[in-house]
Structure 1
Amino acid sequence: MPRKNRFLHVLLGILLGTFVSVVFVARHRGSSMCLPPAKTVRRKHLDPLELIGVNNNSLEDKHLLFVGVMTAAGYLDNRAETVYNTWGKEVPGKIAFFSSEGSYSNSIPLVALKGVDDSYPPQKKSFTMLKYMHDHYIDRFEWFMRADDDVYVRTDRLEVLLRSVDSRKPWFIGQTGRGNTEEFGLLALESDENFCMGGPGVILSRETLKRIAPYLEDCLRNLYTTHEDVELGRCVKKHAGISCTWSYEASDYKQMQVILYHNQSGSTAFTGDLKQKEVHKAITLHPVKQPQYMQRLHKYVKGLKIQSLSQESVDLHRDIASSMAQLNVPISEISNADLAKNMKLFDEEAGSDDYLGDPTILGIPPSYSRFRPKELRDVLDWEFINRTVFSAKDLNPKRRIPSSMREGIDDILREAMDIINQYSKQRGRIIDYKDIYYGYWRLDPKYGVDVILDLLLVYRKYRGHKMTVTVRRHAYIQQTFTGIEVREIDINQPYTEETNENNLPFHEKLIKQISRISSNLQLTDIFDSSSSNASKKKRINFILPLSGRFKTFKRFMDVYEEVCIKENDPTTLIIVLYKENLYDYEESLGLIENVQMKYKNYDIKTVLVNETFARGRALQFGVETTNQDDLLFFIDVDIVFNAKSLMRIRQNTIQHFSVYYPIVYSMYDPEFFGKKYDIDDYKLFENESLLNEDNGFWRQFGFGIVSLYKSDFIKLGGFNTTIVGWGMEDVNFYDSTIMSRLKVVRSADPGLIHVYHPVQCDNDNNLDNNQRAMCLGTKASTFGSLNDLQIYFLKNKHLFS
C-alpha cells in the first residue's frame, strides 16, 4: 500500500475511533436521570476533617456516626441544602454530601468526587464515596451511613438504635431486599444472599467498612447488574462475610422494613396526612422528593418530639409532687417550697425562660376526680361514643363523630398501643388493635381530656407456647393539659424580592403568599368596612316580610339606620308589609315614610300585601322587585345585625357557586328565669360577651336566614308558596339547595342575633302535623338553657308530679 494511502487509513481510523468514543460517552451520559442544570465551579480544596468540622490535631475528637449523602450537582441548592438544614443539623456525629467532580456549594459540606459524574445508576459514585469515607474518617466514627438526598432520618431514634449495637462487630443494616417480582432470580443472588435497599438508607459498622474498603474498586469492576444497592450487598457479602440484617434481635423494633421505611407511592409519598403509624414508628422515611415536603415532615417530627418532651415534663412534675408529699408539702405549696435553706425547689417564676411550669397543674396525679365541681352546673358531662356521638349537652343529641374527635381518638389509640407494647419483646408477645366497641369522652377545662374505651384487641404470643386470641380490654386514659404557650411573630419584617424565599420559615412563606394573593384579588375591598370603600362593595338587597309587630320593627329600623344608612353601606331594604293588623300596619307604614323622607337618596321599597300572611309568599313578592344579578338577603324582623355580618354575606355568597346559610345566635326568654334586660335596646347586643350558653344558643337547624343571588334563587325553584302558617318553606328550600350543585356555606355568625319573642303555634289550626311539631320544638328550645331548666325543675318538682 502506498505510504500516503497508509497514512490516510491510520488518520481515518483515529477519527473513527474518536467518534465512536464520543458516541459511547454521549449514550452513557444520556442514560442518566433528568437532572436540573449542574452547578459546577472550581472550589478551594478543604482538608476532609476540616470540611466536616472535626479537630485534625486531636484523636479524641470521635463521633458516633458519619452520614454520607449522595446527591447531584443539580440538587445541591434544593434537595441537598434542605437535608442539611433539617435532619442534617441533628446527626449524632457529622454529615457530608457527595456529588460529581466539579460540583460546588458554599452552604453545605460537599465532596466533589474526582472522576465521578452524575450519571445513573450511581454505582461509581456510591463505591467511591464509601472509599473516601474509609480513607479519611474510619478512625473517627463508629458507624457509617450511606443515604440519598430524598430520605428523611429520625436522628434521635437512629442514635438509640446504634448505641444499642456493638459497632466492633461487622454489621450491615438496612431494609432487606431480594428484588421485586419481575427481578426475582435475575439479580445473580444465591439462595442465602440479599441486599440492603439503598433508598431508606444503609448503615455499616466500622468493622464492615474496614473489611470491604480494599475491595471496593474490584467490586466496581465486576458488576452483575445495574442496581447500586444490589452490588453493594454482593460486595459486603463476599468480602465482609455478612448479609443485610433481616431483623435485629437486640433492638425494640420488630423488622427493618418498619424502621427503615420505603413508601411505594413514589413522588406522592408523605405529601398527605402524616398521622400514619409508619411515620411514627420509622427511623428513616423514603422517598421525600420535594424540599417543601421535607421541611413539612421535619416540622411534624419536631412536633412529635415536643409532645414527647411535654409528657416527660409531666412525669417529672408528678414525681416531684409525690416526693414532696412524703415531706408533707401539699401540691398547692410546691411553687414556694424550699429544698434547703435559701434554695428554692422552683427558683424561676412564670414568664422566665427557665420557668418549669405550674406544678399545681402538671404535678397532679392521674385521676378521674381531679376536678371537683362546686355547683351542679360545673359537673362534667360524659359523651358516649359508638359509631356516632351521643351527648346530653348538645342541641343535636346524636351526631356523627366530628373529624377533630376522630383524629384525637386515633392519636390516643396509637399512643396507648405503643405503651401496651413497650415491653413486648421481653414478654414474647405483641398486642394489635382491632376495633372500638364503645367509649366515653369528656373535657376537663382545667386539667385535660378524659377517655374510657372498650377495645377489641388481638393478643399474639410468639415465644414458647404460641397462640393468637381475641380479647376485650378497657383503657382508661387521660391527656393532661400542659399550659398555654404564646409565640409572637413579627409580620412586618423587611422583605425584598432578592430575598431567597426558600430559606424563609414556613409561616413567613405563608404570610408572603397571602400578601401576594390578596394584592392580586384585592381582598381588602371585601374586608374594608369604611364608607370610602362603599362604592366597591356589592349591593345587598334585604327582603323583610312583616305582619304586625310594630315595636319589633322599630328596633329593626334603628339597627338598619345605624349599620347601613349612616355608614353609607350599599344596601336596599325591601319591606313586604301585610295589612292583617291595621294599627301595626299604619304605624309601620308611617315609620317607613319618615325614614324615606329623612334619607331621600337611600333605597327603601315597600310592597303592600292584603292577604293572610305566609312567609314564603312574602319573600317571593320581594324577590320579584329585584334584578337577575342582585344579591338577596332574606331576613326576619327579629334579627339584629352589624357591619361584620354584611361583610360575611358578601364574602360567602358567590353567584353560580355558593349560598350562605348563617347560623344565628338565638336568645332565650329573659323573663322566664328573671333575667331582666331591655330586648328593644339593640345596642345591648353589640357586646359579644352576651353570647354565651346561659343567654341563648346557636340555631343550627334554622334555615330562614339566607343570602344568595336571584339567578340562583330562580334555578332552585324559589319557595313553595302553597305553604301557609308557621315554617317549613325554609326547610324545603334548604333541601333544594343541598340537592343542587351550589355549595352551601354554613357558619356561626356572631353578628346575627335572633332576639327572643314568644312563639305562637298552639291554637293555629292551619298547621299540619310536621309544622306543629317543628313549631312546638322551637318554642321549647327558647325557654332557657339546660342548666336553668335543671335548676327550675329542682326548685319546682311539685309542678311536675
Structure 2
Amino acid sequence: MEGREQMLYNHVADLKPRGALRMAARRPSSGERRCLRAAASLLLGAFAGYLVAALIASTSQDQFLCPANGPDGLRMDNSTLQPEELILADLKGLHNSSQSLLFVGVMTAQKYLDTRAKAVYETWGRELPGRMAFFSSGTSETNQSIPLVALQGVDDSYPPQKKSFLMLKYMYEHFGDHFEWFLRADDDVYVRPEKLEAFLRSIDSRKPQFIGQAGRGSQEEFGLLSLEFDENFCMGGPGVIMSRATLAKVAPHVSYCLRNLYTTHEDVELGRCVQKFAGIPCTWSYEMQTILYHNSSGNQAFTGRLKYKEVHRAITLHPVKQHKHLYRVHNYMRSMKISDLQQQSLNLRRDIGHMSALLGDPPPAQSQKYSPETIMGLAPSLLKFQPKSVTDVIPWEFFTNALYSDKNANPRRRMELPLREGLDDVVREVMEMTNAFSRQRGRILDFKEVLYGYHHVNPIAGQELVLDMQLVYRKYRGRKMTIPVRRHTYLQRAFSGLSIRETVDGQDPPKTQEIEQSKENLQAIAGGVLGPAYALVQQPEQRVIPNPAKDKLITFLVPLSGRLKTFHRFLSLYEEICIQGRQATALVLVLFPSDEVTETVALVRSIQKRHPSAAISILPVFVPFARGMALQLGAAHVQAHNEDTILFFVDVDIVFTAASLQRIRLNTIKGKSAYFPIVFSEFDPHVVYGNNSDSQSRNHFLINDNTGYWRNYGFGIASAYPADLNVVGGFNTAIKGWGKEDVDLFDKFVKSKISVFRAADPGMVHVFHIVECDTSLDPQQFAMCQGTRANTYGGSMQLSRILDKYPEILQIANKNRVAAVAS
C-alpha cells in the first residue's frame, strides 16, 4: 500500500494538472480511498496546527498594527499578517527602486492619530518613494486607515526618548534589509517627497550617513548637554535621516543608549548614541538650515503666506502644528507642481516650433498666426507681437518704489498687490535659475533689490518685464570674496492654455447619469451569446439634472423713500429681467414715509395685477430713512418665511442684467462666501454727453473710462444668506442717514469665517444721480458723501477739458488752498 501511495504521489507531481485529470477517469479502489482519506487528514491537521501556532505567535508580539488600508488598497488586518508583512505588502523592485528607497518612521501620540497622523498619511505620505509607519504608545488604536505600530511598554509622555529609540530598533529589525534610507520624523512636519528623493539619490547610502540640521543646544543650554567640543546632534523637528549602514550600527545598542541618558532631549541623546556607535556626527552644513527648514514662529508657522523663498527651497517644513494646514501646504506644493508641468509643456511646444522651423515647415496662415498653439510655440522674444499701427503699440509702465503710467487716472501711484506679488515670483524664479549650479561653481548670487524696471501685459505674449536688479556676488570656494553687482534682464511670463472648471457652491456639479452602448460595444460584451436580440435593447434617455446654481432663490431687499421716477425704472427692469425672464427671484420693498407713498404702492399693485404669481411684497417702516435699519428689518422679515434664500441688498439706482443674477448665485455660498460686487458708477451725463443729450435714452451698460468708474470702495451692493448675516452680526441699525452702514457690514464679514468674494461685475451699473449730503451728518459720513459726489461728477479727461476751458476754476481752487494753509 505504501509503494502504491508513493507511486501515486510521484505521478501527480510530475504531470501536474494534466495527470490529475487522467486520474479522475479511473475510480479508486476502497483501499486507495482509505489511504487518500488518511493522507488528507494528516495534511489538514498539519495545516491547522500551523495556523494555531501562527496565531499564538502573532498575539505574543510586542507590537501590533491597527487595521488600515495600505497604499495599494490592501486591507491591513493584524489578525492574519504581522506589522512588517503588512507594511512590506506588494513591495516590488530592487533596493534602488522608486518603492524601496526610503522608510519613514513618524512619531505620534494617541491624541494625534485622527488629526496630524491622518493628515500626514493623506498628503505627503502617499507620494513617498518607499513606505511609512506611525509609531505610538502601546495602548494606541484608531479607526483611521493609517499604518500604526503600537510599541508595547511605551507611553505618550514627553520627551519621547524611549519611543524614539525603540522605533529605530523596530525599523532596523523589520525593514533594515528592504530600504536604503530611514527618516525619523514628527507628525508636525511636511516633507516634499520628490525633492527628498532627488537629494538622497545624490548621496552614497552604503556609507554611514547621519543627516539633519546640526545643533549644539540653545545659548542657555550651552555646556549643560554633556557634549564634547567636536560633538553635535541632529535637531529632531525638521527630520533626521540615516543610511542603512548607520542604523545597522546604532540599533543593536538601543538598550545601552536608553540606560545611559544624560539629558531629557530625545534628539540630543540620539546624536550621542550615533556618535558613540557609528562614529559620525550630524552633518556640519549651513545648507541644512534651508533644506530642513525650521520656522521659529511656533503655532503660527506656515499659517500665513507660503510664497517665499524658504518654503520653495526646503525639503522639509517644520512645524505645522494645525493638521488642517498640512492639507493647505500640500495644496500649495501641488500648485507649484502644476506650474512646473505647465512650464515643461510650454518648453515642449517651443521645441516643436523650433524643430518645425528647422525642417522647413510652412509658416502658419494669417488666421492662425496669433492662435494659442502658435504663440505658445514661439521662443521668448520682443517680436512675438508686431503692431500694425501706432494705436496697436502697447505702452510700458515704469516702476521703482512707485508705479508710473500715462494711461491711468493716477499717473504715479502705489504698485498694486497683484503686480508686486507677480514681481516677487519673477525675482525668485530668476534667482533660482541663476543659482541652479551654484554648488558646483562655488559661488552664489543673492538678491538685494530691484532698482527699476518696465513692464506691460501683451495679450499675445503675456507679461513682459525689463529689470535692473542689485545683487551680491559671494564666492565661498577658493579665494573668497563678496562683490555688489547689477544685472539687467528681459523676461516674459507667457500665458498658458485656458483652463475652465465649473463648480456649484465650491463643489463639482453632479454628473448626468447616462449609459451609452453602441451595437459594437454590446456585441463585444455579450460575445455573440445574445445574437440578434441586442436590437431589442433600448438606449436609455439622458437624464437632465437641474442646475442647482440657476435654481437658487434671490430675494431683492430694496429700501425706498420717495424717488418715484427712479423706482419706476427699477420696477420695469425687474419685471423684464426677473418676472418675464422666469428668474427665481422675490422682491421685498422696505418703504419709508414720503410724499410719494401712494403712487409707489400703486406701481407695486399694478405689477402684482399683471403677474399674480410674482413674489412681491411691501414692508412699511414708520421712522426716518436709515438704510442699515431698513435692510436689517427686511432680512429678518425674509428669514422668518424662508431661510434658504439669497438676500440681495440693492438700491433703486442700480440697473442689472440676468448674467449678474447668475453671478450672485455662483458667488454667494451658504456658510462659506458672501458676494460684494464692484459696481460701475456713471458720471454726470451732462458732463459726458453734453447738455443737449437725452440722458434717459442712453446705454447704461456702455462701460469705459469716459462714461464712469468702478466703485472699488463702495460696499452697499451685496448678497449673503440670512444665516451668514446673523453670524457676522447683521447691519448696525444705530447708523443713521447716508452711508457707513455698508462699510461696517463689509468689515464684519472680513473679520468672520465667511469669506468675501469681490470682483468687478459688468452687469451692475449705478445710474447717475446727484448725491445730496446733509450737513447734519456725522463728520466721517459727510466726508464720505462729499467724496462720492465729487467722484461721480466726471472723469479725469472731462475735468481736464473743463479746467482748460474755464481756467478761473483752477485759480479759485488755488486761492482757497492758500487760504486754507494760511489759516
1:46 is aligned with what amino acid?
Answer: Q
Structure 2 residue aligned with 1:116: 154
Structure 1 residue aligned with 2:298: 266
Structure 1 residue aligned with 2:380: 366
Structure 2 residue aligned with 1:415: 429
Structure 2 residue aligned with 1:666: 682
**Offset at 1:43?**
5.0
Contact preservation (8 Å) 2:104, 2:131: yes
Is 1:51 the equivalent of 2:87? yes
Structure 2 residue aligned with 1:698: 709
Contact preservation (8 Å) 2:108, 2:135: yes
Is 1:443 the equivalent of 2:480? no
Contact preservation (8 Å) 2:210, 2:242: yes
2:263 is aligned with what amino acid?
Answer: T
> Quick one: distance in 1 between partners of 2:412 and 2:431?
29
**CA deviation digits over 1:730-769, x for unaligned, max 9?**
xxx789989x99999997554543568999xxxxxxxxxx
**CA deviation digits over 1:479-535, x for unaligned, max 9?**
1111012345664669xxxxxxxxxxxxxxxxxxxxxxxxxxxxx9x9733xxxx6x
> Quick one: distance in 2 between partners of 1:691 and 1:187?
75
**Offset at 1:659?**
15
Structure 1 residue aligned with 2:475: 461
Q: Where do 5+ consecutive residues of structure 2 fail to align? A: 1-66, 69-76, 512-548, 610-615, 636-647, 669-673, 719-729, 751-755, 772-784, 801-823
Is 1:67 the equivalent of 2:104? yes
- The structure-2 alpha-carbon separation of the partners of 1:67 and 1:330, relative to structure 1 and needing over 3 Å to count, comes to farther
**Offset at 1:702?**
9.7
Structure 1 residue aligned with 2:308: 276
Structure 1 residue aligned with 2:244: 206
**Offset at 1:203?**
0.8
Contact preservation (8 Å) 2:626, 2:735: no
Instruction: Provide the aligned length of Structure 1 versus Structure 2.
Output: 626
Is 1:79 the equivalent of 2:116? yes
> Quick one: distance in 1 between partners of 2:461 and 2:109?
52
State the secondary structure of the residue aligned to 2:470: strand
1:395 is aligned with what amino acid?
Answer: A
1:569 is aligned with what amino acid?
Answer: L
> Quick one: distance in 2 between partners of 1:125 and 1:112?
10
Contact preservation (8 Å) 1:69, 1:97: yes
**CA deviation digits over 1:77-127, x for unaligned, max 9?**
332222122111111122222233354457223333343333332222222
> Quick one: distance in 2 between partners of 1:603 and 1:47?
68
State the secondary structure of the residue aligned to 1:372: coil
- The structure-2 alpha-carbon separation of the partners of 1:541 and 1:734, relative to structure 1 and needing over 3 Å to count, comes to closer
State the secondary structure of the residue aligned to 1:373: coil
From 229, 243, 247, the counterpart of 1:191 = 229
Contact preservation (8 Å) 1:50, 1:56: no
- The structure-2 alpha-carbon separation of the partners of 1:641 and 1:92, relative to structure 1 and needing over 3 Å to count, comes to closer
Contact preservation (8 Å) 1:661, 1:705: no
**Offset at 1:132?**
2.1
2:375 is aligned with what amino acid?
Answer: I
Contact preservation (8 Å) 1:665, 1:691: no
**CA deviation digits over 1:186-217, x for unaligned, max 9?**
11000110000111111111221222233222
**Offset at 1:154?**
0.8
2:84 is aligned with what amino acid?
Answer: P
> Quick one: distance in 1 between partners of 2:618 and 2:423?
54
- The structure-2 alpha-carbon separation of the partners of 1:43 and 1:405, relative to structure 1 and needing over 3 Å to count, comes to farther
From 111, 125, 150, the counterpart of 2:163 = 125
1:101 is aligned with what amino acid?
Answer: G
Contact preservation (8 Å) 2:577, 2:657: yes
- The structure-2 alpha-carbon separation of the partners of 1:167 and 1:718, relative to structure 1 and needing over 3 Å to count, comes to same
- The structure-2 alpha-carbon separation of the partners of 1:445 and 1:575, relative to structure 1 and needing over 3 Å to count, comes to farther
> Quick one: distance in 2 between partners of 1:323 and 1:455?
34
2:214 is aligned with what amino acid?
Answer: T
Contact preservation (8 Å) 2:210, 2:246: yes
> Quick one: distance in 2 between partners of 1:478 and 1:236?
50
2:376 is aligned with what amino acid?
Answer: L
- The structure-2 alpha-carbon separation of the partners of 1:562 and 1:86, relative to structure 1 and needing over 3 Å to count, comes to closer
Structure 2 residue aligned with 1:584: none
State the secondary structure of the residue aligned to 2:364: helix
**Offset at 1:133?**
2.1
> Quick one: distance in 2 between partners of 1:666 and 1:95?
62
**Offset at 1:295?**
1.2
- The structure-2 alpha-carbon separation of the partners of 1:396 and 1:638, relative to structure 1 and needing over 3 Å to count, comes to farther
**Offset at 1:358?**
5.9
State the secondary structure of the residue aligned to 1:147: strand
Is 1:319 the equivalent of 2:351? yes
Range with greater deviation from structure 2 (256-265 or 313-322): 313-322
State the secondary structure of the residue aligned to 2:132: strand
> Quick one: distance in 2 between partners of 1:50 and 1:636?
65
From 576, 580, 587, the counterpart of 1:569 = 587
From 498, 507, 520, the counterpart of 1:484 = 498
> Quick one: distance in 2 between partners of 1:596 and 1:313?
59
Contact preservation (8 Å) 1:545, 1:576: no
From 159, 180, 185, the counterpart of 2:218 = 180
Structure 1 residue aligned with 2:341: 309
> Quick one: distance in 2 between partners of 1:179 and 1:385?
46
**CA deviation digits over 1:326-368, x for unaligned, max 9?**
11125638x99xxxxxxxxxxxxxxxxxxxx964233210012
Contact preservation (8 Å) 2:474, 2:482: yes
**Offset at 1:300?**
0.8
> Quick one: distance in 1 between partners of 2:349 and 2:184?
41
Q: Where do 5+ consecutive residues of structure 1 fail to align? A: 1-37, 248-253, 337-356, 495-523, 578-587, 606-619, 653-657, 720-732, 760-770, 787-801
Structure 2 residue aligned with 1:95: 132
Structure 2 residue aligned with 1:796: none
Contact preservation (8 Å) 1:668, 1:782: no
Contact preservation (8 Å) 2:631, 2:649: no
The percent identity for this pair of structures is 46
**Offset at 1:449?**
1.3
State the secondary structure of the residue aligned to 1:471: strand
Alignment of 1:487-502 (within 5 A): 487=501, 491=508
**Offset at 1:470?**
2.6
- The structure-2 alpha-carbon separation of the partners of 1:455 and 1:631, relative to structure 1 and needing over 3 Å to count, comes to farther
> Quick one: distance in 1 between partners of 2:787 and 2:96?
85
Contact preservation (8 Å) 2:677, 2:761: no
- The structure-2 alpha-carbon separation of the partners of 1:376 and 1:177, relative to structure 1 and needing over 3 Å to count, comes to same
Structure 2 residue aligned with 1:296: 328
2:587 is aligned with what amino acid?
Answer: D
> Quick one: distance in 2 between partners of 1:171 and 1:263?
25
**CA deviation digits over 1:394-446, x for unaligned, max 9?**
33333322222222111111111111222222333222222222222211223
Is 1:287 the equivalent of 2:312? no
Range with greater deviation from structure 2 (697-706 or 70-79): 697-706
Structure 2 residue aligned with 1:511: none
Is 1:222 the equivalent of 2:260? yes
From 388, 404, 408, the counterpart of 2:418 = 404
Contact preservation (8 Å) 2:274, 2:280: yes
From 541, 556, 563, the counterpart of 2:559 = 541
TM-score with structure 2 length normalisation? 0.62
> Quick one: distance in 1 between partners of 2:682 and 2:154?
74
Structure 2 residue aligned with 1:753: 765
- The structure-2 alpha-carbon separation of the partners of 1:472 and 1:631, relative to structure 1 and needing over 3 Å to count, comes to farther
